[in-house]
Amino acid sequence: MLEKIDLKKNITKEEFKSASKKLREQLSSLQQQVLKQKLPVIILFEGWGASGKGELISDLILNLDPRWCKVHSVTRPTELERRKPVLWRYWNFVPKAGNFSVLDRSWYLDVTTARLEEDVSAKELTRRLNSINTFERELTDAGYLIIKFFVHISKKEQKERFEKLAKDRNTQWRVTEQDWKRNRQYEKYCESFEEAIGYTNTTAAPWHLISGTDRRAAALDVISAVIARVTEALNQEHQARLPAQELIQPGAYPFLPMPKLSEVPLNRTMDRDEYQKKLEEEQKQLRELHSELYLKKIPVILAFEGWDAAGKGGTIRRVAKALDPRGYQVVPIASPTPDEKARQYLWRFWKNLPRDGHIAIFDRTWYGRVLVERVENFCTEAEWSRAYREINEFERELADWGAVILKFWLQIDQEEQLRRFQSRQNNPEKSWKITDEDWRNRSKWDQYEACVNDMLKYTSTRYAPWHIIESQDKKFGRIQTLELITDAILDKCGEKHPHGKKED
| Distances in whole angstroms, Cα of residue 132 to Cα of each of 88, 114, 196, 276, 349 | 12, 15, 10, 48, 18
Residues forming a β-bridge with 304: 363, 408
- Least distance to its own copies, CB of residue 28, Å: 9
Which residue type does 166 have?
A
Among 4, 8, 67, 272, binds its own copies (CB under 8 A): 67
- Which H helix or E strand runs over 304? strand 300-306
170 binds its own copies (CB under 8 A): yes
32 binds its own copies (CB under 8 A): yes
- Least distance to its own copies, CB of residue 66, Å: 4
97 and 36 in contact (C-beta within 8 Å)?
A: no
92 binds its own copies (CB under 8 A): no
171 binds its own copies (CB under 8 A): yes
Which of the residues 306 through 365 are near its own copies (CB under 8 A)? 317, 320-321, 323-326, 329-332, 334, 337, 339, 363
291 binds its own copies (CB under 8 A): yes
Long-range contacts of 163-167 (CB under 8 A, 24+ apart): 165/50
Beta strands in 32-167 (DSSP E): 41-47, 69-73, 100-104, 145-152
- Least distance to its own copies, CB of residue 134, Å: 28
Measured from the CB atom, the residue of 260 and 430 that comes closer to its own copies is 430
Among 232, 288, 381, 487, binds its own copies (CB under 8 A): 288
Chain Cα centroid distance, residue 127: 15
54 binds its own copies (CB under 8 A): yes
Among 20, 31, 51, 63, binds its own copies (CB under 8 A): 63
> Dihedrals φ, ψ of 254, to 5°?
-80, 85
> Which residues, including other chains, have CB under 8 Å from residue 331's CB and lie 6 or more apart?
352, 360, 361, 362, 363
79 binds its own copies (CB under 8 A): yes
> Dihedrals φ, ψ of 358, to 5°?
-110, 165
How many residues does this entry show for the chain?
504
Measured from the CB atom, the residue of 144 and 328 that comes closer to its own copies is 328
- Least distance to its own copies, CB of residue 394, Å: 22
Contact residues: its own copies, CB under 8 A? 29, 32, 54, 57-58, 61-63, 65-67, 70-71, 73, 78-80, 102, 104, 170-171, 173-174, 288, 291-292, 295, 317, 320-321, 323-326, 329-332, 334, 337, 339, 363, 429, 432
